[in-house]
Amino acid sequence: MSGPSIGAEAPDFTLPSTADGDVTLSQFRGKSNVVLAFFPLAFTSVCTAEFCDFTDGLTDFGAVDAEVLGISVDSVPTLTEFRAKNSITVTLLSDFKRDVCRAYGTLLEEQFFSRRSYFVVDRRGVLRWSHAESELGQKRANTELIKELENL
């Protein structure tokens, strides 16, 4: 995965979201840490389990002052339906043009969707931790992500 380096400023972006308008990464600077959770496609079994887990763990993420943002190449209407069907409360962002996936080095060019990848960005906007799954069917547990946030 070639993307931003740990310790570097996280590449800023603005994407349309399921949260009534665009979301810009830098809007969280000085306010909260952010977990960027890139995922392949809505409605797949692992992605559904992953975002249901995130929803169930939002209180735990809040306790370490972190927002969770899901990013996929799906359209906003698809992501909105995915959220509704699965009672997901995490904000989902549409990288339909795949620019953010490319900036973070997560895009699988041949499949044209993102590898499941995680980035922890501190409240100063600095990338502090990242992980890319080697297999599409794998995902990190909330406890692992929270541990990284506790280390900030």
User: pLDDT, tens digit, for every residue of 133-142?
Assistant: 988 778 899 9
Q: Which residues pair with 67 in a beta bridge?
A: 34
Instruction: Report pLDDT digits (tens) over 63-116.
Output: 999 999 999 999 999 999 999 999 999 999 999 999 999 999 999 989 999 999
Percent of the chain with pLDDT over 70: 99
pLDDT score recorded for residue 42: 96
pLDDT score recorded for residue 138: 86
How many other CB atoms are found less than 10 A from the CB of residue 24?
A: 12
Query: SS3 for 46?
Result: helix
Catalytic residue among 15, 34, 47, 149: 47
Instruction: Report pLDDT digits (tens) over 45-59.
Output: 999 999 999 999 999
- Going by pLDDT thresholds of 50, 70 and 90, the confidence category of residue 1 is low
Q: Which residues pair with 119 in a beta bridge?
A: 36, 130
11-15 contacts at long range (C-beta below 8 A, 24 or more positions apart) = 11/100, 11/103, 11/104, 12/125, 13/99, 13/100, 13/103, 15/71, 15/93, 15/94, 15/95, 15/100
Nearest Cα neighbor of 74 from 53, 100, 97 is 97
pLDDT score recorded for residue 92: 98
52 is catalytic: no
Q: Beta strand 66-72 with 91-94: parallel, antiparallel or unpaired?
A: parallel
Across the range 14-35, mean pLDDT stands at: 96
Across the range 9-24, mean pLDDT stands at: 96
**61-120-38 Cα angle (round to 5):** 95
